[in-house]
């Protein structure tokens, strides 16, 4: 499967979150057993690139037509670091990050059969920004994100009520008032 992003989204999010912020924080690159559901979806083309260009020892768990990364539990801790995290410098993937990581701290979720763009409470940098600015960025990025999620339903997570809803996907059907 070929996955292509046009990633206007990246530019919109860069106004909220710099690469340096992410390299310093790294919170979204480590997981405990309760939030392993947040590990990024990896498509076969990206899995090949990871093995060839970034991390030859990376191992994956197969799910239908995509993969999840197999992460090692830290000794004596309920903690898993992403294999693609350099603990000094941050993510090694540069502009090749998986979709879930590109759009973080936004998350696409499903609520009552409708896709919603939500804000993860876990990102200290974006959560310190003015909420209006976050909503403006979400509004601009939503179209591209929802379009990608429509053809890649595995990136859509069940709604969690600690995630504020920023944008609700508009109905695709003519005549809808939403
Ligand atoms: S791929 Fe990069 S950004 Fe995503 S969780 Fe791993 S280290 Fe973090």
How far, in Å, is the centroid of ligand 1 from the Cα of 113?
29
Atom index in ligand 1 nearest the CA of residue 104 equals: 3
Tokens representing 74?
Answer: 């830290």
Output 7 or 165, whichever has higher pLDDT: 165
User: What local confidence, expressed as pLDDT, does residue 176 receive?
Assistant: 47
Per domain, the residue ranges of the chain are: 8-168
Indicate whether this model's pTM tops 0.85. Answer: yes
User: What local confidence, expressed as pLDDT, does residue 175 receive?
Assistant: 47
Q: Among 158, 145, 26, which Cα is nearest to 92's?
A: 26
Q: What is the spatial distance between Cα 160 and Cα 34, in angstroms, rounded to a whole number?
A: 13
How far, in Å, is the centroid of ligand 1 from the Cα of 176?
38
* Residues 6+ positions from 18 with CB-CB distance below 8 Å: none
What distance, in Å, lies between the first and last C-alpha atoms of the chain?
Answer: 33
Our answer on whether the CB atom of 91 is closer than 6 Å to any ligand 1 atom is yes
pLDDT grade for 23, boundaries at 50, 70 and 90: very high
* Mean pLDDT in residue range 147-151: 94
Question: For residues 138 and 106, is the Cβ–Cβ distance under 8 A?
Answer: yes
User: What local confidence, expressed as pLDDT, does residue 2 receive?
Assistant: 45
């Amino acid at each position: 499967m070929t996955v292509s992003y046009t990633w206007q989204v990246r530019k919109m999010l860069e106004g909220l979150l710099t690469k340096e912020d992410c390299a310093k924080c790294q919170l979204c690159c480590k997981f405990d057993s309760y939030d392993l559901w947040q590990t990024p979806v990896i498509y076969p083309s990206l899995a090949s690139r990871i093995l060839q260009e970034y991390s030859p020892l990376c191992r994956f768990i197969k799910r239908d037509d995509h993969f999840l990364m197999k992460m090692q539990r830290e000794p004596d801790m309920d903690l898993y670091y992403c294999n693609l995290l350099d603990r000094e410098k941050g993510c090694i993937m540069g502009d090749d990050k998986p979709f879930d990581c590109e759009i973080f701290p936004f998350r696409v979720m499903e609520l009552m059969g409708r896709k919603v763009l939500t804000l993860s409470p876990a990102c200290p940098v974006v959560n310190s920004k003015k909420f209006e600015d976050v909503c403006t960025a979400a509004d601009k990025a939503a179209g591209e994100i929802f379009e990608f999620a429509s053809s890649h339903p595995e990136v859509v997570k069940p709604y969690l009520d600690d995630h504020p809803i920023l944008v609700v996907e508009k109905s695709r059907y003519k005549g809808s008032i939403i």
